[in-house]
């Protein structure tokens, strides 16, 4: 891709409100072997979500976890419901939500010396429109066959949502974007426009643009009310109380007037679920609920992770967690005395909070002073009654290289670190890998995310 063409394309089409990033003449190249590995990761992620849904439901209902063994875990639902409004918990546990999982799964994958490592699973992911736009922008170059068939992202997104209204030939679908998520509104506008050009009735709206009428949900189009069939909520559930129209959306769903995706199940938006995968009391459950093939992938993919629970222990007990000064922990505050090497850990809020996305709560233990690390641990322990934190083993990503345009349009071979975001669309017991977004950051950045000096790239498949 020519530098001038890229400049003109992004000048014509804003994708993130007020955001810019570096550009490259080439997409990020993935071998067929890596694409096959990504497909395996997608299936393993779906298997994990389906097992997690069963785990939460059985825990909440007081049912045993295993078929032939009396094992119960009421504490799982208590962890995952902590800090949530009782009304939302009731909806999450309702019969209408049983069995429902998110329609789109997007893991954050780092490339390490040992292979891929997952930092979180996002069930309400941004970047769908951006990735689709980048795919369309770069697919004209025959040297780089884009990952996914032509318009795969748009088609997969529409297929999923249209399937929720099977009685409608061309359902009215609204992507509802909250003020908290407004940064992503331009990419959702582009996605809706793209689908409209294909003949579909898809609209990107702010949440305050919908209104109730006769038990249903509507929006105004050219001065006339248009009834909505499907709502794709592009906002996380911690933001529900700030959305003036949220009650109208929920009531229309409860009345059967609209379909709603992702489901109103906040436990899918908790990072602590990855820590549950490693919990010693749940090993038999995961073994019984997930295939051996998917478990092998998840075992290597998910770093050791722990939930920061400051509940007092008996004098002789120890925490199943990291070490401090070579010794087991009796309290999470013991980690304040961990050596810098032992602080090769990431501390972050689990979810249901405005700082739980965009890396805003992330603290890397060996990258901060002992005082800052102690303060962060104290905050995590003091706030555990309402918001859980997790600690995760920090896996360092490897340095890679890729051609990047300088600010004046010259190409140079840049060194950096990579985060890969594959997008999987769920269809029954299978997932479709429809595309992937590569975020290539400067090598001095330990937290890899979209930033001004990072490059945002689509992915192509190479021999």
Q: What is the pLDDT of residue 449?
A: 66
Q: Pick from 294, 265, 304: which is nearest to 392 by CA?
A: 304
According to DSSP, the β-strands at 363-364 and 345-349 are: antiparallel
- pLDDT, one tens digit per residue, over 274-312 is 999 999 999 999 999 999 999 999 999 999 999 999 999
- Whether 308 contacts 384, CB under 8 Å: yes
pTM for this one? 0.94
Residue-level pLDDT at 450:
62
Phi, psi dihedrals of residue 458, rounded to the nearest 5°: -75, 175
The pair phi, psi for residue 170, each rounded to 5°, is -145, 75
Q: Cα separation of 37 and 39, whole Å? A: 5
Predicted pLDDT at 392: 95
| Residues in the chain with pLDDT values less than 50 | none
Structure confidence at residue 154 (pLDDT): 95
Q: What pLDDT is attached to residue 149?
A: 74
Whose CA is closest to 329, among 302, 308, 349, 350? 308
pLDDT single digits (tens) 187-244:
999 999 999 999 999 999 999 999 999 999 999 998 999 999 999 999 999 999 999 9
Residue 153, CB half-sphere, CA atoms under 13 Å: how many?
A: 28
């Amino acid at each position: 891709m020519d530098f001038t063409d890229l400049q003109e394309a992004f000048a014509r089409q804003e994708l993130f409100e007020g955001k810019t990033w570096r550009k490259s003449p080439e997409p990020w190249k993935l071998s067929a072997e890596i694409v096959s590995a990504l497909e395996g990761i997608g299936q393993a992620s779906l298997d994990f979500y389906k097992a997690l849904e069963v785990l939460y439901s059985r825990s909440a209902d007081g049912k045993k976890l295993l078929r032939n063994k009396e094992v119960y875990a009421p504490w799982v639902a208590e962890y995952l419901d902590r800090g949530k409004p009782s009304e939302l918990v009731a909806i999450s546990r309702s019969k209408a939500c049983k069995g429902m999982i998110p329609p789109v799964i997007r893991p954050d994958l780092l490339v390490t010396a040992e292979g891929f490592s997952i930092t979180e699973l996002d069930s309400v992911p941004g970047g769908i429109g951006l990735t689709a736009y980048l795919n369309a922008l770069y697919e004209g170059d025959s040297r780089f066959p884009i990952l996914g068939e032509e318009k795969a992202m748009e088609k997969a997104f529409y297929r999923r949502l249209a399937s929720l209204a099977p009685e409608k030939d061309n359902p009215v679908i609204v992507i509802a974007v909250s003020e908290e998520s407004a940064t992503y509104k331009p990419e959702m506008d582009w996605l809706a426009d793209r689908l409209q050009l294909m003949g579909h009735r898809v609209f990107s709206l702010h949440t305050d643009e919908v209104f109730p009428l006769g038990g249903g949900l509507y929006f105004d189009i050219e001065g006339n009310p248009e009834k909505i069939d499907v709502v794709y909520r592009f906002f996380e559930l911690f933001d529900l109380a700030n959305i003036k129209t949220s009650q109208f959306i929920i009531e229309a769903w409860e009345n059967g007037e609209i379909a709603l995706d992702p489901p109103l199940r906040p436990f899918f938006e908790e990072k602590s679920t990855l820590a549950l995968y490693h919990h010693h009391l749940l090993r038999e459950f995961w073994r019984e609920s997930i295939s051996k093939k998917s478990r092998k992938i998840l075992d290597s993919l998910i770093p050791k992770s722990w939930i920061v629970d400051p509940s007092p222990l008996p004098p002789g007990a120890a925490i199943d967690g990291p070490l401090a000064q070579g010794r087991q922990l009796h309290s999470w505050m013991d980690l304040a005395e961990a050596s810098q090497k032992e602080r090769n850990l990431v501390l972050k809020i689990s979810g249901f909070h405005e700082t739980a996305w965009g890396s805003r709560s992330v603290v890397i233990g060996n990258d901060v002073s002992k005082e800052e690390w102690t303060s962060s641990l104290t905050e995590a322990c003091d706030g555990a009654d309402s918001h859980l934190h997790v600690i995760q083993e920090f896996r360092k990503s490897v340095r890679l290289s890729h051609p990047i345009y300088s600010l004046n349009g010259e190409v140079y071979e840049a060194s950096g670190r990579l985060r890969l975001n594959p997008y999987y669309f769920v269809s029954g017991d299978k997932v479709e890998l429809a595309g992937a977004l590569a975020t290539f950051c400067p090598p001095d950045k330990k937290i890899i995310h979209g930033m001004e000096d990072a490059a945002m790239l689509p992915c192509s498949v190479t021999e």
